[in-house]
A and B are shown apart, each in its own frame.
Chain A
Amino acid sequence: MASDVILIGERSEIKPRPRKESRGIGLGRFALVTITFFTFAFLYVPIAILIAFSFNSARTGATWQSFSLQWYERVFSNARILEAAANSLIVATLATIGSVIIGTLMAMAMERYQFRAKLAWDALLYLPVIVPEIVMGISLLIFFAAINLSRGIVTLVISHIAFCMPFVYLTMRARLADFDKSLEEAAQDLGADEWTTFRRITLPLLMPGIISSALLAFTLSLDDFVISFFVTGVGSQTLPVYIWGQIRRGITPEINAISTLMLLLSIALVIITQLIQRRQRA
């Protein structure tokens, strides 16, 4: 089982030996490409199915009948579903921003400083990931009721930040573990103050990690159902909550249609942010 890994120091035993030609590399590369290709295919086939069914005239997702745009028409005349979709996007965006900021700060603190409670915090910070969502959802509901905070977008964003932040933290810590501080030190030797160092050296170097954790947070928030269900209020239902509510009485390919639309919107959002970033760099 590869799930446990323990690192201990030991004496190295590598003796000098004649260098062998690694014939394996070519084969390895081919295997890599193939596996990656099939994995992406595996990831996308259900998506293709999902999109295809949004154009299916049949009601259940069992058979294909004929091409039809009726579900898209129904989506656009269904105020509830549109509102739910909008709620989802708003909450996801806000939660991503919040959790990336907080999570990155936290990761920096934990990685770069030594303090007494550090070991305890290290352990504690794994807990959020371990708690089952339903537990978190219900306890948050009770909590919000106890402090008299009315349920709605605010409680949604708060809760989403709460469960996204640990994921950001873990990803950023993995990234920070090998951060080369000498670059920062060099900048400071050259006279840059802390903020400039952070902005010009640290941040760009952390960018790949920030992007992947932002993506993670956005995805988690957009798709969250269990926690959202419990902390949502009147009129602030997110899309997953809405869709789940439809299940018991029968779903229609409307949900395929709105899902496709959301997908396109999310992609557009990300492309826009990328373009903005590129412009900033240039």
Chain B
Amino acid sequence: MNRRSFLRLGLGLTGSTALLAACGGAPASPQPQGEQTPTTNTAPESLAKELTWYNWGNYIADSVLEKFKAEFGVTVKVDVYGSNEEMEAKFKAGGNPGYGLITPSDYMVSKMIAADLLEKINFDRISNFKHIDDSHKRLYFDPTNEYSVAYNWGCTGFAYDKTKLPEPITNWKQVTNWPEALRGKLGMLDDVRELLAVGLRVLGYSGNATDPAEINAARDLLINLKRQANYTLTDSPSAATNIVAGDVFATQIYTNDAVNARRENPNVVYFIPGDVSTIWQDNLCVPKGAPSRYTAEVFIDFLCRPEIAAENANEIGLGTPNVTALKQGLIAPELAEDKAVYPDVAALGNALEFLKKGDPQVDELYQRAFDEIKTA
């Protein structure tokens, strides 16, 4: 009953070689080419001493790692990256440098599956998968759900300082009529798709539009808005800093950063606009060439325990897909009751869209439109 797949391309490094590589020692083959190298996968129940996780920054509670070590004797070492594309570039150009676990976002999972960079996960070893809510399984990027396990999810919303704006904002359409008096006080996200999604959705198109005419219309709307409002284009944590410091009065922003901003400036209001919003999900995946798939799977199973997932989510401040944790009341009330962190997905319906990237032709269109907006 085991779905251990002996795919030709890349079962790769043995555990020891990977450890040596981690210490900067012997040169290891970065891109295994169809060798059937004996790996620790064949020894069924042996855990590696170490699991290297290529993860986002600040994306795992240290206490969780300590608990895992105490129970299983495995040290989890975390290297950080700041964007999916950075991770992708490293893997593609030089092969897996030796990581056993990665955390790609939704669209990146589908890209990596297409590029044959991910291992199929043996779900027999992840019994705790049942605690993950069904709404986070079998999504567009992994329809058969063989390669990924949901880790965290969140949305892109809008935050504003209620003491600085003349009237409360309730939707993005309102934002596109930014008043002259507040010129220079609006912030947007420096992300190709997030920015253009605003233009597209306000005009009534999908955030995943592929028609150049639609994309160009969105571009023009955003260029006009830039002339009107002179918005800044920053990453989300900077947007949080800016709104707390008062350099912008309102901004597009991710959930977790908005929560942080709110903690420091209680005047900040955050909400998910009903006309435009994106949802994203980060997933645990095992890359090809991982030294020990088994260890990774044990760890994933560990992370799916309700109490562990809750501990993690409370620390990071993002939404956990672990519905059991929610039902058992393990999530801190401040977060569980916050409609921004755990929005009513059903009620928001169509407003929440996954931004699907990966089609080169379309991506080029978007990138060019973005360049034009930025240069205007």
Q: Is A154 located at the chain interface by the 8 A CB criterion?
A: yes
Which A residues lie within 8 Å of B31 (CB)? 145
> B181 in the interface, Cβ–Cβ < 8 Å?
no
- The answer to whether B244 touches A63 (Cβ under 8 A) is yes
The answer to whether B263 has its CB under 8 Å from any CB of chain A is: yes
Contact of A251 among B23, B25, B94, B237 (CB under 8 A): B237
Whole-angstrom CA separation of A149 from B57 in the bound complex: 27
What are the residues of chain A within 8 A of B242 when measuring CB–CB?
62
Minimal Cβ-Cβ distance residue in A for B57: A246
Is A234 in contact with B79, judged by CB distance below 8 angstroms?
A: yes
Complex contact A234–B244 (CB within 8 A): no
Cβ–Cβ < 8 Å partners of A250 in chain B? 57-58, 237, 240, 256-257, 260
Contact with B along A53-74 (1 / 0, CB 8 A): 0000011111100000000000
- B22 engages A235 (CB within 8 Å): yes
Given the complex of chains A and B, what is the CA–CA distance between A234 and B21 in angstroms? 7
* Contact among B27, B80, B245, B263 with A149 in the assembled complex (CB-CB below 8 Å): B27
Interface stretch among A36-44, A236-244, A273-281? A236-244
How many residue pairs, one in A and one in B, have C-beta atoms under 8 Å apart? 132
Rounded to whole angstroms, the CA-CA distance of A244 and B77 in the bound complex is 18
Cα–Cα distance between A144 and B27 once the two chains are bound (Å):
10
- 0/1 interface trace, chain B 1-40, chain A, CB 8 Å (1 if under): 0000000000000000010011111111111000000000
Interface string of B249-276 (1 = CB under 8 A from A): 0000000110011011000000000000
Are A152 and B264 in touch, CB under 8 angstroms?
no
The answer to whether A60 touches B260, judged by C-beta atoms less than 8 angstroms apart, is: yes
Give the residues in chain B near A229, CB-CB below 8 Å. 86
Q: Which B residues touch A249, using CB under 8 A?
A: 56-59, 237, 256, 316
What separation, in Å, do the CA atoms of A245 and B260 have in the docked complex?
18
Stretch at the interface among B95-103, B305-313, B348-356: B95-103
Bound: A59/B83 CA distance, A: 22
Q: Which chain B residue has the least Cβ–Cβ distance from A81?
A: B80
Report the Cα distance A251→B256, complex, angstroms: 12
On whether the beta carbons of A233 and B80 are closer than 8 Å, the reply is no
Shortest C-beta distance, B109 to chain A (Å), equals 17
Known: A59-B264, A246-B57. A234 touches B89 (CB 8 A): no
B52 at the interface (CB under 8 A from A): yes
**Whole-angstrom CA separation of A244 from B81 in the bound complex:** 7
Given known A-B contacts A148-B27, A149-B27, A248 and B264 have beta carbons under 8 A apart: no
The 8 A-B residue pairs whose C-beta atoms are closest, nearest first, are A245-B80, A152-B24, A246-B57, A62-B245, A145-B94, A62-B244, A234-B98, A153-B24
Chain A to chain B contacts (Cβ below 8 Å), 20 pairs: A60-B245, A60-B261, A63-B244, A77-B62, A80-B80, A138-B89, A138-B93, A142-B94, A145-B94, A148-B27, A150-B25, A233-B97, A234-B22, A234-B52, A234-B98, A235-B52, A235-B79, A247-B235, A248-B236, A249-B58
Which residues of B does A touch, CB under 8 Å? 18, 21-31, 52, 56-59, 62, 77-83, 86, 89-90, 93-95, 97-99, 235-237, 240-242, 244-245, 256-257, 260-261, 263-264, 316
